[in-house]
Structure 1
Amino acid sequence: MNSSERLARIAQGGAVDRVPVQPINMMYAARYIGVPFRTYVRDYRELARAQLKVLEDFDIDIVTLCSDPCREVEDLGGAARYFPDQSPTPDPLSPLLKDKAALATLRQPDPLGGGRMHDRVKGVEALARAVGKDVPILGWVEGPIAEAADLRGLSTIMYDVVGDEGFVRDLFAFINEMEFNFAKAQFEAGAEWIGIGDAAASQIDPDTYEALVLPAEIELVRRIKAMGAKVRMHICGKINHLLPGLARLGADMVDVDSPTDIGIARQHLGPDVMILGNLEPVGFFLRKGPADIIAELEACAAKVGPRYVIGAGCEIPPGTADANVRAMVEAGERIAAARGR
């Protein structure tokens, strides 16, 4: 059974030889092949090389294009700050939309126009040539509130959310068009899965989330799925308060971060969506060993049930011991064996 077959069987609640192992690994992958993260995020060839090396050496069930939140910002003309071996960030001192009126002057970027969005698409193509249909390729786009925070600044967009709903809706409409076009380019290049990262949503109260942010997320998910892709939603942090709304999202898989109770997530999301998670990345992968990781993943699987996918709550940290990465695969085998395959 190959990785794509495993995931398809899990999606149906079926038996597998091993529960799929699909961690987010970015800085870990770069560190594993010995390249600075700055290089990893700017050169699709190094990103693909790192992803394929981790895939080959650890036999996980995914390759991913997730890297940083700056690709869209830079292709729109915004500034980013780069560091030697950390994730770049949109420049907090000069956000692209410091002035709301600038939204009217923005033009949709071309995801195949030679910029950083295009670099990601080239990464999809490189990975597709290497793995074909045997391993799921996870493309990636920013969600509406996350990208709004990238363009306005996190604190500023939070003021907008409570003080200028009309502007926020207009901004979300622009963002969703951009992210759909980006997702479409990745899908056509070979990414059958599209991840949506919308971490800033965790900072919003449930009423505002359901009235303003969730409809934009639902629309983006709907459009991506309508073209034939599968969607994986990732919202970092504690999202217990968002779970009732997320039940209406329509994503095929939802990542659950470690501050959120994964059992409660299953109760709210219903039995049909796949749930991934949710070990605390530093607490388990850096500070504990394989036995602890396996035991905690088995506990997560018991809470989630058959449509469970193995991963940390968020990114696998750089510096994680190889044995701790392999422990996820061993946990997948043990969980499947206990379920009778």
Structure 2
Amino acid sequence: MIYPLLRPLLFSLETEQAHQLSILALETLGRMPRSLNAVAGHFSVSHPALKQNLWGLEFANPVGLAAGYDKDARAAAALPALGFGFLEIGTVTPLPQSGNPRPRVFRYPSSQAVINRMGFPGEGAAAVAQRLAALQQPHPVPIGINLGKNKDTPLERAAEDYVSALENLFPYGNYLTVNVSSPNTPGLRLLQAADTLPELLATVAAANRRLAAVHQRPPLPVLLKIAPDLSPEDITLIAKLALGDAPLVDGFIATNTTIARPPEHPEYTETGGLSGAPLRQLATVVIAQLYRECNGTVPIIGAGGITSAADAYEKIRAGASLLQIYTGLVFQGPELIRDILLKLPELCQKDGYSHIRAACGTRA
């Protein structure tokens, strides 16, 4: 469509400027119903092989927007028109913060990769709640809310930040994500440790139940977003959080960005989290292990390095029920969503599967 024409302009700008321009354009589109309908008419793809019900939520298709793009819910009214089956807002911290110094996002077009060290910049939970409250109801697609802690909050008080943000945002989400895996907030990944994570999740779960009673609705499904740099032993322990009679999480997002640097790419000299095509295989390995550890009983959202329908299908066969993309959009634009949705049913049928559900985990 129009993105190939816009890409040279966007890539002539500093990376974060280009991102902010795209958010502004979508924010404007969200206030233009006729234009919004025209965009949706082009990008929307409906196919019975793509529809699922997970956590009691209806997903018209498995392709969602990963957290990190629409941190403050500014574009949430327009994003469904691009074909997404669900959105994840955030990462949202309880208080506003500016994040790390700029420049903090770096594109590598030749390898379809990005390095970012954003550090959770955002307007804070109250501002995001106000925007979500103003959205059309019911919203066209499920909305997940990705929660994080403020940079200045000590690790021993991190749970207070997750609960504080949740108290503001609970009425407006369909699921919530506990983000303990960004490499850009000092010490955050330490919360993934086996002696720390259960207590944090138990505190969030208690707040979730309390808020559900207050708002007279079921507790939100709780997902845990993990790093791709965990050891297999760590992943085994984390998988157990979703098992047993009293699971602490209802699903996983695998994975966040990586701090690893492939030796074949010496140009990746900036610090921060690496995303995009170089992350594909690492994320897929984590998905497959989680699927095996949970015996295929716990939904996984696969993220990391999806730049084509083949990549998306690979994630599904590794064990992902749903998918999230972000970096691929930087280089290919929203046509990537449409291309994945058009080709996924064909890839399933070629292998004898009538639905993506049947293909899930077949190569875990």
Q: CA shift at 1:134, angstroms?
A: 4.1
- Is the CA contact 1:256–1:278 (under 8 Å) kept in the aligned structure 2? yes
Whole-Å Cα distance in 2 between the matches of residues 122 and 277 of structure 1?
29
Q: Between Structure 1 and Structure 2, which shows a larger proportion of strand residues?
A: 2
| Shift in CA distance, 122/316, structure 1 to aligned 2, threshold 3 Å | farther
Whole-Å Cα distance in 1 between the matches of residues 228 and 177 of structure 2?
16
Q: CA shift at 1:84, angstroms?
A: 7.9
- Is the CA contact 1:256–1:276 (under 8 Å) kept in the aligned structure 2? yes
| Shift in CA distance, 85/177, structure 1 to aligned 2, threshold 3 Å | closer
The one of 247, 251, 254 aligned to 1:253? 251
- 1:323 corresponds to which residue? 335
Matches within 5 A, 1:144-163: 147=149, 150-151=151-152
- Is the CA contact 1:311–1:328 (under 8 Å) kept in the aligned structure 2? no
- Is the CA contact 1:73–1:90 (under 8 Å) kept in the aligned structure 2? no
Deviations 1:249-305 (A, max 9, x none): 33222111242412112112332211111442xxx53xxxxxxx212222222231x
| Shift in CA distance, 232/334, structure 1 to aligned 2, threshold 3 Å | farther
**Which consecutive unaligned segments of at least 5 residues does structure 1 have?**
30-40, 92-114, 153-167, 286-292
Matches within 5 A, 1:17-36: 19-24=61-66, 26-27=68-69
- 1:310 corresponds to which residue? 323
**Is 2:119 aligned against 1:89?**
yes
- 2:19 corresponds to which residue? none
**Is 2:295 aligned against 1:270?**
yes
**Is 2:171 aligned against 1:137?**
no
| Shift in CA distance, 317/202, structure 1 to aligned 2, threshold 3 Å | farther
Q: CA shift at 1:73, angstroms?
A: 5.3
Whole-Å Cα distance in 2 between the matches of residues 21 and 90 of structure 1?
23
Amino acid paired to 2:317 = A
Q: Count how many residue pairs are aligned between Structure 1 and Structure 2.
A: 250
Whole-Å Cα distance in 2 between the matches of residues 137 and 17 of structure 1?
11
- 2:224 corresponds to which residue? 233
Whole-Å Cα distance in 1 between the matches of residues 136 and 103 of structure 2?
28
Q: CA shift at 1:121, angstroms?
A: 0.9
The alignment's TM-score, normalised by the length of structure 2, stands at 0.56
Q: CA shift at 1:235, angstroms?
A: 2.0
**Is 2:174 aligned against 1:192?**
yes
- Is the CA contact 2:301–2:323 (under 8 Å) kept in the aligned structure 1? yes
Deviations 1:8-51 (A, max 9, x none): 62458x9x996421230544x6xxxxxxxxxxx5xx5xx43x23
Q: CA shift at 1:243, angstroms?
A: 1.6
Amino acid paired to 1:256 = A
**What secondary structure sits across from 2:64 in the alignment?**
coil
Whole-Å Cα distance in 2 between the matches of residues 122 and 61 of structure 1?
23
**What secondary structure sits across from 2:144 in the alignment?**
strand
Amino acid paired to 1:268 = E
- Is the CA contact 2:146–2:179 (under 8 Å) kept in the aligned structure 1? yes
**What secondary structure sits across from 1:22 in the alignment?**
strand
Amino acid paired to 2:333 = A
Q: CA shift at 1:52, angstroms?
A: 3.0
Whole-Å Cα distance in 2 between the matches of residues 89 and 224 of structure 1?
25
- Is the CA contact 1:277–1:310 (under 8 Å) kept in the aligned structure 2? yes
- Is the CA contact 1:26–1:316 (under 8 Å) kept in the aligned structure 2? no
- 1:223 corresponds to which residue? 207
Whole-Å Cα distance in 2 between the matches of residues 67 and 17 of structure 1?
22
- Is the CA contact 1:140–1:196 (under 8 Å) kept in the aligned structure 2? yes
The one of 113, 117, 131 aligned to 2:125? 117
The alignment's TM-score, normalised by the length of structure 1, stands at 0.59
Q: Between Structure 1 and Structure 2, which shows a larger proportion of helix residues?
A: 1
- 2:353 corresponds to which residue? 339
**Is 2:55 aligned against 1:72?**
no
| Shift in CA distance, 79/323, structure 1 to aligned 2, threshold 3 Å | closer
- 2:311 corresponds to which residue? 296
| Shift in CA distance, 125/328, structure 1 to aligned 2, threshold 3 Å | farther
Whole-Å Cα distance in 1 between the matches of residues 94 and 191 of structure 2?
26
**What secondary structure sits across from 1:310 in the alignment?**
strand
| Shift in CA distance, 328/218, structure 1 to aligned 2, threshold 3 Å | farther
Identity over aligned pairs, percent: 9
- Is the CA contact 2:64–2:86 (under 8 Å) kept in the aligned structure 1? yes
**Which consecutive unaligned segments of at least 5 residues does structure 2 have?**
1-44, 106-116, 213-218, 242-247, 256-279, 356-364
- Is the CA contact 1:279–1:297 (under 8 Å) kept in the aligned structure 2? no
